Chain A
């Protein structure tokens, strides 16, 4: 078996070498496994459009090292089994060179060993699959969103007791653990931790528990309509607690702000508060993305798309550094990227760090009179 594996790899390398020589002028294919339908649809459609925007912009400038880029996108229906199938299709039929895949963590994790065996780098929207040296992610570390909220409470309010309200998704669970671990560093105590499900239509039980535990603010971790539910429940309870929620599509937040007004806060990425964001290299980087994005999509929320854009720019950077399109070279050069200014922050990769965003770019924001602004 071992022998056979070696032969297989040797064969693959030979095949790739030939292909490389023969296809020097062929396009460099970027595959996207995205949940265009199913629960990840909002996020993954935005991510995919971000990838496409980046590819269009690079192609207009002549591509990367003279080679044009091409996007191959397949719908994984937000399902891990479908994801394995479409990954496999893009590997063997489309022969993509790199993956910039969406936020269906389970699908990326399920396909990762197979993709690694084919020696194709993947830059993801989701959390990193375990033990896969071919995968990288644009996802900010789980602590960032939490720490920004704690920082805000410490610096701008008297609140020192909070409740944590989270859904059961992997990223939410990671964040919940971080919240419990780092709260003390900010002089804050987590007095209550409650779980809910994405389809829950009432959260008043969890919220009442938090209030009676003495929480002055609710840290909600998780996406979707439950944020509005929480807001309505807080209003019904006539609760004095503040609501601080995770990063999310701005469209979701507008009705929440109408319910809770200035008691509602959320973590925002720099691209969401672009106008108000202080000048600097980050603002410049976002500007480069926002121009073509706005041309094409107008006022659509740029948050997830901006990370899709980053994934392409990271790949281009790795290719140009190594002067090679070959999978192994791209992988190694992705690991060498440091100080790269993306739209979501600065990326510092290393062989042991494939989750590259190293400085916290987020802000805590509010919507006052229909306008998004950085919270004071």
Chain B
């Protein structure tokens, strides 16, 4: 064997991906579209449930970047949803801003907070990071309760205007669902792009092994921070969407409840997949309604279904679909 660094091979090593068929993934998207379509056509309380599911899909997309793509744990993402939500709420009510600038302001605050929090804590590993983020979520909740002059405490802020730009306002169920669907699709597209980009490669290297990534020249703490910032920005967006859609905000909205729900959604949907947050959010939101008729057995049925999904689809619904596609194309 020679060790000449010059290459003789005229053939370019292929950077193109093999042509794969994505039946499984397509089925997941089609199912999501069908659920949203049903809500759009028939309205009713399905519209409310799907609207909440879509807002959660936004939140979970952010969590998925941090947890799925980068394999970090944060129990505190609700803090950034709260920052976005409360900034929107306060600016559009007390200061009568339009929703869009309010949302942007929320995003900026969330990013600043995420930087100040992430810079020191992302040096921590494993459960230390998880504990630190949990504390951040709880502290933000406390601030929302105690800083009454701004947040009105448990009383909450009402009369928040609906989503809108200029003369267009999303008031009807259909308008709200359409706006939210567009946002979710844009986010899914963005996550696809991120995954294929250099940034995404760095994230998955950090996810694979921090030590190996570091040994290869990838600045692990910087990419963790970038991932955290992206997740925080998306969380903030979801918080703003929530307050404009409901027209009201109080601290309980962004409590631990939100974190638990989002974790369930990301695991049921498929951690690290593009379609996972959407299908996870839709299914977790609709399941309790399917079982509502069972009254006292509602929680039991919900729990059993959850366990069945995790047994038969341990990588989540989108994860299983993706695995089927991979097998088919291999």
Chain A residues near B (Cβ < 8 Å) = 1, 4-5, 8, 74, 78-81, 84-85, 88-89, 91-93, 105-106, 109-110, 112-113, 127, 129-131, 168-170, 173
Contact = CB atoms under 8 A, between A and B. Distances in A.
Contacts of A5: 171
7 contacts: A5-B171, A79-B255, A85-B49, A93-B45, A106-B248, A127-B155, A130-B159
B35 interface: no
A109 B158 contact: yes
Given A1-B167, A105-B155, A106-B154, 9 more contacts: A1-B171, A80-B252, A93-B45, A106-B248, A109-B158, A110-B248, A112-B158, A113-B247, A168-B146
B155 A170 contact: yes
A105 to B, nearest CB: 7
A63 B148 CA distance: 45
A129 B158 contact: yes
A289 to B, nearest CB: 27
B153 interface: yes
A84 B246 CA distance: 8
A130 B257 CA distance: 26
Given A4-B172, A80-B252, A106-B250, A92 B148 contact: no
A80 B253 contact: yes
Interface string B200-237: 00000000000000000000000000000000000000
A294 B48 CA distance: 40
Interface in B140-180: 145-146, 148, 153-156, 158-159, 167-169, 171-172
Interface of chain B, main secondary structure? helix
Interface range on chain B (Cβ under 8 Å from partner):
20 to 34
Given A92-B44, A173-B155, A8 B252 contact: no
B145 A168 contact: yes
B314 interface: no
A1 B43 contact: no
B155 A110 contact: no
A106 B252 contact: yes
Contact of A110 (B49, B167, B246): B246
A79 B145 CA distance: 15
B209 to A, nearest CB: 38
Contact of B153 (A74, A78, A93, A173): A173
B252 A168 contact: no
A112 B255 CA distance: 21
A147 B247 CA distance: 35
Interface of B: 43-45, 47-49, 52, 145-146, 148, 153-156, 158-159, 167-169, 171-172, 246-248, 250, 252-253, 255, 257, 289, 292
Contacts of B289: 85, 89
Contacts of B159: 130-131
Contact of A8 (B49, B172, B247, B250): B172
For B155, B158, B255, the residue with the greatest tally of chain A CB atoms inside 10 Å of its CB is B155
Contacts, number: 87
A173 B248 contact: no
Interface of chain A, main secondary structure? helix
A84 B203 CA distance: 38
A294 B153 CA distance: 38
B169 A80 contact: no
Nearest to B153: A168
A276 to B, nearest CB: 35
Contacts of B148: 173
A85 B49 CA distance: 6
B253 to A, nearest CB: 6
B257 A79 contact: yes
A293 B44 CA distance: 36
Nearest to B295: A75
B45 A91 contact: yes
A80 B254 CA distance: 10
A89 B45 contact: yes
A1 B154 contact: no
A13 to B, nearest CB: 17
B145 A81 contact: no
Contact of A130 (B43, B145, B158, B169): B158
Given A4-B172, A93-B45, A106-B250, A81 B155 contact: no
Contacts of B44: 88, 92-93
B51 to A, nearest CB: 10
Contact of A170 (B154, B167, B168): B154
B147 to A, nearest CB: 11
Contact of B250 (A74, A80, A173): A80
Given A106-B156, A168-B145, A92 B52 contact: no
B48 A84 contact: yes
A55 to B, nearest CB: 18
